[in-house]
């Protein structure tokens, strides 16, 4: 007796697993090398986090398999992602409570997803936790993590730097902390917060800085468990102060801290009392002292002090300014942030330096011990406060923090008496030393490395330094990354070219450069580049074929050998051998005229002035755009082997049957590696695309090629299960489309909705001569659906497009009854919002013949176009579309025989409003538009109206709604 229940349960689990395949998942991707990070970025997959060598991103689960095939180590970490709730937490500390079990973790950090809306407020979050980034990391960020920086291995001791460090005064820092604490509260938007920002401006102005406010709008809400309520809103302000550098004024060195405070996890208390001595008067005071010390000397770079507002509301002040710095392309050499640097725990450690950029930590290890005695500190990569606002945009950042979490933070006990002057003084001295090195030493120089081509030399080209006191450049090179056994010196600030000779052929060399100033200081960091001297040119890369009208356009990347003479291009046609096609000095070649019946393969070879030739490039394939080779039928369906979904042979059998009689070529698209391209479409006059898979999402990879094909004059019939979801790579309904979307521009659809679990699709009722297509009840995909058919798209066509099928539902009360489920852009595209495999095959074949006839495709052996007469057997009145509507709607109906027809509109009281049709009509399908005007040409009021169709004793009525 239990077997049917067990079977139904298994089928339910199968269906749930199937539906999950098209859902969005949060994944981790391991990117252990610079090369792997570059390759990942080139895939253009929006990535939210890069924690150490692990990328965190959100994708459709159907993409996971293809990415694994590319060699990426991927783990699904959350199948129901709510990225706005996720927090990144340092593994050096522990979150409170069992709710914070990580969904992902490594040795540096973890990601948690609090179960309640405001539960993140239960965490002692300072220095431990920050909200997970939910915006894709940009190009500046990826450049920063794919560039190898090499710091000075040994920074010579500089008495001038020591003199600056020695100026740090513990009493001064203490007085700043006391003054900030005396404001009683610095909670955002309070008068005391405004007064504190004014005090900062006055102090910095007094030290010779140009100080100003950076204002932004803020809303403060109180969150607790599952409730939220509004506290206050208005403008708050960052404090930005600067002192212009002498040698390189456009290069900016930032020292910062947030000056706002917060108490007891309660915004109401914070508005009255929030001393915040450690959080963050200590960090702000330390940054102020760094600014005071550096104000007394003329440094080469511009020094900037930033006092951040609204850090306690989500690091909003620093985000506001970092976004501006990114958009303004500011040259930020470093952003140092001091956040809570005054609490002394029972450890011997005095501080913690956090930076996602390893080279800044390396520089700290070289610099700080020389100038700050007995300063014990840790280095880690996790960053989570205002520095993260800059780090996520690719700016070099470093956070100065206290060694352990202060138990008094966000409490009324966070006062000066709980802090250690020794701790905040040491952290400030360390910040002065590092700021002084970066601000006083020349900037990095980035060379471009070119192979001369003689097998023993490499050429370096670089932009001369803009710093006025540069006297020359050191060049270092070696055979191992980070180890440089040879060097040379190039004299002259404006030098921009050098050649390294005497190298070993086919050996990779690693090269860095450092600018040298007149005082003997060198660039504090260098960008490592590599090059390989070769006697023979490298094989050309980036060979890309593009189909054009009756031809193929070839393009490839330029070789960098300095003795390059040109390229030889080779071509293979179908199964023949490669033969020489042309020689050129360009990186472009147009091959035409070509036949659409053939396939073409190309390779390119570089050659130098001595006649040496490179290896051949990889082979590429293409076909021209001729639109004369009949039909290509793309089968983009999952080839099931288990469960009640169709097998590949079943699908192929149906598709081949309905296309019988036409000149067509099948194209199997079951894996991302099989993606059809424009070169596959171009020869054919029509593309037929069947995507009758409930879960697969492969079509998005070919959308750009579809657009190009249609723009070239091709015709496309797209049919499938949830096809809008498939083609746009999203599972969200309703889906709205606008200019730029293929649905809007080519399929002429502005919106797609999806029928639900309570709706049962019975038939696609044909209009405009299209035959009805019934669901084949023997093909239902799963018995757990109770002999129903679901997830059919209701389409809203654009003006000028035609509805060719409407939904006929089993449940007549369905809101989807009569809605369009297929549309056409006459003679160009046809779009079915339902899968063909599950439909009656004879009716599906008639529908295919109708589409092909409209596309001008003639069956083999037939002269002229096939019979296009309508096949209508039922008297039907369909639901108007759109409904509800404001200005105009369309009413469609079909007549099985000739007769006198009346179509009237009545108001809800039964009074005649308008007669739309009154006369004899032939058998066929009709659509009549109503512009909301009554018989006296007056606009009717909003409300419910009835439209009534009658002919030869048959009548049907439906309701429609007019909106205000």
pLDDT tops 80 at residue 90? no
pLDDT higher than 70, residue 224: no
Rounded Cα distance between 660 and 138, Å, is 50
According to the model, what pLDDT value does residue 110 have?
A: 87
DSSP state of 757: T
CA distances in angstroms from 887 to 822, 881, 896, listed in the order given: 23, 12, 31
Helix (H) or strand (E) holding 817: none
98 CB-near residues (< 8 Å, 6+ apart): none
Bridge partners (DSSP) listed for residue 925: 894
pLDDT tens-digit profile of 800-854?
A: 899 999 999 888 788 999 999 999 998 899 999 998 888 898 999 999 999 999 9
Give residue 16's pLDDT band: very low, low, confident or very high (50, 70, 90).
Answer: very low
Kindly report which listed range (459-473, 537-551, 649-663) carries the lowest average pLDDT score.
Answer: 649-663
Tell me what pLDDT residue 837 has: 85
At 630, phi and psi to the nearest 5?
A: 85, -135
- Cα 515 from Cα 510, distance rounded (Å): 17
Burial of 454 (0-12, 13-18, 19+ CB in 10 A): middle
Q: Are 686 and 857 in contact (CB under 8 A)?
A: yes
Closest CA to 310 of 244, 383, 385: 385
Q: Order of strands across the sheet with 458-461? A: 448-451, 458-461, 497-500
- Which residue's entry shows tokens 């750009």? 704
Alpha-helical runs (H) found in 798-878? 841-855
Token couple for 320: 């506001």
- What are φ and ψ of residue 465, in 5° steps? -60, 145
Please state, in angstroms and rounded to a whole number, the distance separating the CA atoms of residues 388 and 897.
Answer: 73
8 A C-beta contact, residue 915 and residue 907: no
pLDDT tens digit sequence for 854-878: 998 988 754 433 333 345 677 888 8
Res 661: pLDDT? 87
Strands 54-60 and 24-30: antiparallel
Q: Looking at residue 95, what is its pLDDT?
A: 42
Q: Which of the residue ranges 499-508, 627-636, 710-719, 724-733 would you say has the lowest mean pLDDT? A: 724-733
Closest by Cα among 710, 927, 961 to 803: 927
Highest mean pLDDT among 167-171, 363-367, 941-945: 167-171
**Alpha carbons 209 and 217: distance in angstroms, whole number:** 26
Q: Contact, 389 vs 315, CB < 8 A?
A: yes
Count the neighbouring beta carbons within 10 Å of the beta carbon of residue 851.
21
Distance CA 735, CA 634 (A): 25
Write down the pLDDT at residue 266.
Answer: 67
CA distance 801 to 768: 12
DSSP state of 882: S
With both helix axes pointing from N to C terminus, report the angle between 421-440 and 283-294 in degrees, rounded to the nearest 10.
Answer: 40
Q: What would the pLDDT profile of 554-586 be if each residue is shown by its tens digit?
A: 999 999 899 999 999 999 999 899 999 999 999
DSSP 759: -
CA dist 286 and 400 (Å) reads 10
The answer to whether the bond into 176 is cis (omega within 30° of 0) is: no
**Residue 390 three-state SS:** helix
Query: To 5 degrees, how large is the angle CA 885–CA 891–CA 892?
Result: 145
Closest CA to 22 of 698, 754, 672: 698
- Nearest alpha-carbon partner for 150 in 367, 358, 449: 358
The DSSP output letter for 394 is T
Instruction: Reduce the DSSP state of residue 662 to 3 states and report it.
Output: coil
Distance CA 48, CA 55 (A): 7
Most confident of 120-134, 664-678, 694-708, 802-816: 802-816
The H-assigned helical ranges of 207-355 are 267-270, 283-294, 316-327
Over the Cα atoms of the chain, what is R_g?
Answer: 35
Please give the pLDDT value at position 133: 87
- Please count the CA atoms within 13 angstroms of the CA of 288 that sit on its side-chain side: 34
**CA 63 to each of CA 73, 243, 735: distance values in angstroms, whole numbers, following the listed order:** 13, 51, 21
Q: How far apart are CA 952 and CA 902, in angstroms?
A: 10
Residue 387 and residue 246 in contact, taking contact as beta carbons nearer than 8 Å: no
CB 582 within 8 A of CB 589: yes
- From 301, 333, 326, select the one nearest 149 (Cα to Cα): 333
User: At 573, phi and psi to the nearest 5?
Assistant: -110, 120
Tens of pLDDT along 130-189?
888 888 999 999 999 999 999 988 888 999 999 999 999 999 999 999 999 999 999 999
Q: pLDDT tens for residues 671-685?
A: 777 889 999 999 999
| Dihedral pair phi/psi, residue 723, rounded to 5° | -65, -35
Helix axes 841-855, 648-658, angle to 10 degrees: 50
φ, ψ of residue 708 to 5 degrees: the values are: -65, -40
Angle at which helix 191-206 crosses helix 283-294, to 10 degrees, equals 20
Task: For residues 329-349, give the mean pLDDT.
Answer: 92
* DSSP annotation of 771: P
Tens of pLDDT, residue by residue over 251-275, are: 999 999 999 999 876 677 888 899 9
Q: Is the pLDDT of residue 955 over 70?
A: yes
Write the burial class of residue 446 (CB in 10 Å: 0-12 exposed, 13-18 middle, 19+ buried).
middle
**Residue spans of alpha helices (H) in 702-757:** 703-711, 723-728, 742-745
Cα of first residue to Cα of last residue in the chain, in angstroms, is 57
| DSSP conformation class of 787 | S
Q: Is 812 helix (H, G, I), strand (E, B) or coil?
A: coil
Span 551-556, average pLDDT: 96
Exposure string over 73-106, b if 16+ CB within 10 A, otherwise e: ebeebbeebebebbbbbbebbebeeeebebbbbe
Average pLDDT, the chain: 87
Token duo for residue 263:
């108490």
CA distances 310 to 132, 178, 232, 436, Å, are 18, 20, 13, 28
- The secondary structure of residue 772, as a DSSP letter, is P
Q: How many CA atoms lie within 13 A of 409 on its CB side?
A: 24
Copy the structure tokens of residue 788: 């129903």
Question: How confident is the model at residue 644, as a pLDDT?
Answer: 59
Closest CA to 381 of 139, 109, 135, 49: 109
> Would you state the structure tokens that stand for residue 953, as one six-digit string?
């004793």
- Whether the per-residue pLDDT at 9 is higher than 60: the answer is no
Give pLDDT, residue 639. Answer: 59
CA distance 696 to 725: 10
**Whole-number Å distance between alpha carbons of 736 and 749:** 9
* Strand bridging mode 631-635 / 448-451: unpaired
Please report where in the chains the tokens 């560039």 appear, as a residue.
147
pLDDT on residue 640 = 57
Residues 373-390 have a mean pLDDT of 87
User: How large is the average pLDDT for residues 65-93?
Assistant: 84
Q: Which of 742, 688, 676, 753 is nearest to 715 (CA)?
A: 688
What is the average per-residue pLDDT within 10-15?
Answer: 42
Asked whether 253 and 438 are in contact (CB, 8 A), the reply is: yes
Q: Write down the H helix ranges in 88-158.
A: 139-145
The SS3 assignment for 819 reads: coil
Q: Write the CB contacts of 741 (distance below 8 Å, at least 6 apart in sequence).
A: 728
Please report the DSSP string for 846-884 in residue order: HHHHHHHHHHTPPPTT--SPPP------S-EEPPPBSSS
What is residue 481's three-state secondary structure? coil
């Amino acid at each position: 007796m239990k077997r049917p229940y067990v079977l139904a349960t298994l089928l339910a689990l199968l269906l749930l697993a199937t539906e999950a395949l098209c859902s969005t998942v949060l994944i981790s991707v391991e990117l252990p090398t610079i090369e792997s990070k570059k390759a990942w970025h080139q895939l253009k997959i929006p990535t939210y986090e890069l924690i150490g060598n692990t990328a965190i991103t959100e994708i459709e689960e159907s993409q996971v398999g293809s990415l694994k095939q590319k060699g990426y180590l991927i783990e699904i970490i959350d199948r129901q992602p709510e990225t706005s709730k996720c927090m990144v937490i340092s593994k050096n500390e522990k979150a409170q409570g069992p709710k914070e079990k990580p969904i992902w973790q490594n040795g540096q950090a973890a990601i948690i997803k609090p179960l309640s809306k405001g539960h993140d407020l239960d965490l002692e979050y300072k220095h431990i936790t920050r909200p997970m980034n939910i915006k894709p990391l940009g190009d500046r960020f990826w450049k920063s993590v794919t560039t190898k920086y090499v710091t000075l291995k040994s920074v010579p001791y500089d008495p001038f730097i020591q003199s600056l460090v020695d100026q740090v005064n513990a009493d001064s820092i203490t007085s700043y902390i006391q003054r900030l604490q005396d404001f009683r509260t610095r909670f955002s938007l309070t008068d005391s917060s405004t007064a504190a920002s004014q005090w900062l401006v006055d102090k910095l102005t007094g030290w010779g800085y140009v100080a100003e406010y950076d204002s932004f709008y803020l809303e403060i809400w109180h969150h607790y468990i599952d409730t939220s309520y509004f506290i206050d809103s208005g403008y708050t302000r960052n404090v930005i102060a600067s002192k212009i550098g002498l040698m390189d004024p456009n290069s900016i060195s930032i020292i910062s801290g947030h000056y706002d405070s917060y108490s007891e996890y309660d915004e109401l208390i914070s508005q009255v009392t929030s001393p915040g001595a450690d959080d963050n008067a200590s960090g702000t005071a330390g940054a102020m002292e760094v600014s005071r010390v550096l104000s007394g000397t003329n440094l080469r770079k511009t020094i900037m002090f930033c006092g951040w507002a609204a850090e306690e509301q989500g690091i909003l002040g620093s985000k506001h300014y970092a976004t501006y710095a990114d958009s303004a392309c500011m040259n930020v050499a470093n952003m140092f942030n001091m956040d809570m640097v005054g609490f002394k725990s029972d450890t011997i450690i005095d501080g913690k330096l956090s930076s996602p950029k390893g080279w800044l930590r390396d520089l700290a290890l070289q610099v700080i011990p020389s100038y700050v005695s007995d300063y014990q500190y840790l280095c880690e990569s996790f960053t989570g406060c205002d520095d993260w606002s800059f780090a996520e945009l690719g700016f070099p950042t470093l956070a100065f923090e206290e060694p352990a979490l202060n138990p008094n933070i966000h409490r009324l006990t966070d006062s000066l008496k709980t802090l250690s002057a020794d701790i905040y003084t040491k952290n400030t001295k360390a910040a002065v030393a590092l700021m002084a090195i970066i601000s006083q030493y020349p900037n990095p120089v980035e060379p471009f490395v070119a192979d001369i081509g003689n097998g023993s030399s490499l050429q370096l080209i670089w932009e001369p330094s803009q710093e006025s006191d540069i006297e020359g450049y050191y060049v270092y090179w070696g055979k191992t990354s980070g180890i440089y056994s040879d060097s040379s010196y190039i004299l002259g600030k404006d030098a921009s070219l050098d050649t390294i000779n005497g190298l070993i052929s086919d050996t990779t060399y690693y090269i860095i450069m450092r600018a040298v100033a007149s005082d003997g200081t060198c660039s504090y960091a260098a960008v490592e580049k590599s090059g390989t001297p070769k006697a023979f040119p490298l094989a050309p890369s980036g060979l890309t074929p593009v189909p054009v009208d009756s031809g193929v356009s070839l393009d490839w990347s330029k070789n960098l050998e300095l003795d390059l003479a040109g390229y030889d291009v080779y071509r293979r046609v179908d199964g023949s051998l490669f033969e020489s096609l042309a020689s050129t000095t360009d990186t472009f070649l147009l091959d035409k005229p070509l036949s659409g019946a053939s396939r073409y393969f190309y390779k390119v070879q570089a050659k130098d002035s001595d006649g040496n030739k490179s290896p051949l490039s990889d082979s590429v394939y293409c076909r021209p755009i001729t639109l004369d080779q009949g039909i290509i039928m793309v089968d983009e369906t999952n080839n099931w082997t288990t469960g009640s979904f169709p097998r590949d042979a079943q699908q192929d059998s149906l598709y081949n049957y309905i296309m019988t009689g036409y000149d067509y070529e099948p194209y199997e698209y079951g894996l991302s590696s099989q993606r059809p391209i424009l070169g596959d479409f171009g020869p054919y006059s029509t593309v037929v695309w069947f995507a009758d898979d409930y879960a697969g999402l492969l079509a998005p990879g070919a959308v750009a090629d579809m657009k190009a094909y249609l723009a070239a004059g091709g015709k496309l019939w797209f049919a499938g299960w949830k096809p809008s979801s498939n083609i746009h790579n999203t599972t969200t309904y309703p889906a709205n489309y606008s200019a730029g979307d293929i649905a809007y521009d080519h399929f002429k659809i502005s919106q797609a909705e999806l029928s639900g679990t309570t709706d049962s699709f019975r038939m696609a009722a044909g209009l405009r001569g299209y035959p009805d297509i019934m669901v084949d009840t023997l093909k239902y995909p799963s018995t757990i659906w109770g002999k129903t058919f679901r997830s059919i798209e209701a389409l809203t066509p654009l003006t000028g497009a035609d509805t060719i099928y409407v939904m006929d539902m089993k449940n007549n009360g369905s809101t989807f009854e009569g809605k369009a489920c297929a549309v056409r852009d006459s003679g160009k595209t046809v779009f079915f919002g339902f899968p063909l495999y599950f439909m009656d095959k004879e009716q599906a074949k008639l529908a295919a013949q109708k589409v092909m006839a409209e596309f001008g495709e003639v069956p083999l052996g037939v002269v002229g176009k096939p019979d296009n007469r309508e096949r209508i057997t039922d008297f039907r009145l369909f639901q108007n579309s759109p409904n509800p509507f404001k200005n105009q709607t369309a009413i469609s109906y079909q007549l099985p025989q000739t007769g006198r027809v009346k179509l009237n509109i009545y108001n809800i009281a039964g009074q005649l409003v308008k007669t739309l049709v009154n006369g004899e009509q032939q058998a066929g399908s009709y659509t009549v538009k109503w512009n909301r005007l009554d018989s006296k040409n007056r606009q009717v009021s909003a409300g419910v109206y009835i439209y009534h169709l009658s002919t030869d004793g048959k009548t049907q009525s439906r309701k429609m709604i007019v909106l205000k």
